[in-house]
């Protein structure tokens, strides 16, 4: 069984997907973490991704990006180093968005994502899961919320993690990433025609979770 969850950042994809996975005994796969690991590799190597996409693609190709899946969650490794926490910075978010626009990088990581989904019940979140990675997934949800709501949530998350940033910075970063992710040529962020749209702007976390569980249980 495959459940595809797509949508822009801050819509609640990962927190909701984790809970759903725990309740339904599915494995949660966060595909954004893979683009983040590739972005981190480029940042560390000093590669300007927008100016030199060929170098970014070459570096990603020679990097070993891998994840381990368990009940306690996913861990992501870059060349054997656990970078699960390191990839959660605004700088890496932007690098991930930039590197994800490169077709060769997408093909490499989509290959890994499909392999991971092939042999287990998964709930996978990203931007192109329903449209490109798992087009035959029987359940596809496109989660969204207003930019202001999403920025507020993401800002809170970053503050809780001890990262200094303002709401305005988060809102501006998010707008840039949304634009990047939805206007790239290859597998852009967009709802699959057969996806169910859920807007979480006016919903609490529990209400969002109930809404998704109702949709999923009806189709399981
Ligand atoms: O979900 P996230 O914010 O961790 O993702 C980081 C970036 O990776 C996002 O800006 C776009 C890219 N991404 C993508 O292009 N396709 C995916 N399936 C997941 C993420």
* Mean pLDDT of the region 161-170: 93
Residues near ligand 1 (Cβ within 6 A): 9, 31-32, 35-36, 93, 96-97, 100, 126-129, 177, 181
Pairing mode of beta strands 65-70, 2-6: unpaired
Ligand 1 geometric centre to CA of 100 (Å)? 7
Average pLDDT of span 192-215: 97
Query: Please, which pLDDT band fits residue 159 given cuts at 50, 70 and 90?
Result: very high
Pocket test for ligand 1, best of 93, 126, 184, 189 (most atoms within 8 A of CB): 126
Q: Taking all residues of the chain, what is their mean pLDDT, rounded to a whole number?
A: 96
- Band (220; pLDDT cuts 50, 70, 90): confident
Distances (CA, A) of 142 to 31, 148, 190, 199: 15, 18, 8, 8
Tell me the mean pLDDT in the region 12-29: 95
- Which whole number is the average pLDDT over 13-31? 95
Ligand 1 atom with minimal separation from the 13 CA: 1
The helix or strand, by DSSP H or E, that contains position 149, with its residue range, turns out to be helix 147-160
* Residue 70 in this model has a pLDDT that exceeds 90: no
The percentage of the chain sitting over the pLDDT mark of 90, rounded to a whole number, equals 95
pLDDT-based confidence at residue 138 (cuts at 50, 70, 90): very high
Mean pLDDT of 3-14: 95
Å from CA of 32 to ligand 1 middle = 4
d(CA 171, CA 148): 7
* Ligand 1 center from residue 217 Cα (angstroms): 27
34 CA to centre of ligand 1 in angstroms: 8
For the stretch 173-197, pLDDT in tens is 999 999 999 999 999 999 999 999 9
**Distance between CA atoms of 70 and 26, rounded to whole angstroms?**
10
C-alpha dihedral sign at 220, 123, 150, 60: negative
Confidence of residue 72 (pLDDT cuts 50, 70, 90): confident
């Amino acid at each position: 069984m495959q459940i595809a969850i797509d949508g822009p950042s801050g819509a609640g994809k990962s927190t909701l997907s984790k809970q759903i996975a725990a309740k339904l005994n599915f494995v949660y796969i966060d595909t954004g973490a893979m683009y983040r690991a590739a972005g981190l590799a480029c940042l560390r190597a000093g590669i300007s991704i927008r100016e030199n996409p060929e170098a970014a693609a070459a570096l990603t190709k020679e990097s070993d990006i891998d994840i381990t899946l368990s009940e306690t969650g996913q861990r992501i490794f870059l060349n054997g180093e656990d970078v699960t926490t390191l990839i959660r910075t605004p700088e890496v978010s932007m690098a991930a968005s930039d590197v994800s626009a490169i077709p060769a990088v997408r093909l490499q990581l989509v290959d890994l994502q499909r392999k991971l989904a092939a042999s287990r019940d998964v709930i996978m979140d990203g931007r192109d899961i329903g449209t490109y990675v798992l087009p035959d997934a029987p359940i596809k949800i496109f989660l969204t919320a207003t930019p202001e709501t999403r920025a507020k949530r993401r800002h809170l998350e970053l503050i809780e993690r001890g990262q200094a940033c303002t709401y305005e910075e988060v809102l501006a970063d998010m707008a840039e990433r949304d634009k990047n992710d939805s206007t790239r040529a290859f597998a852009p962020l967009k709802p699959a025609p057969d996806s169910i749209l859920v807007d979480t702007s006016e919903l609490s976390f529990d209400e969002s979770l109930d809404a998704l569980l109702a949709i999923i249980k009806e189709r399981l």
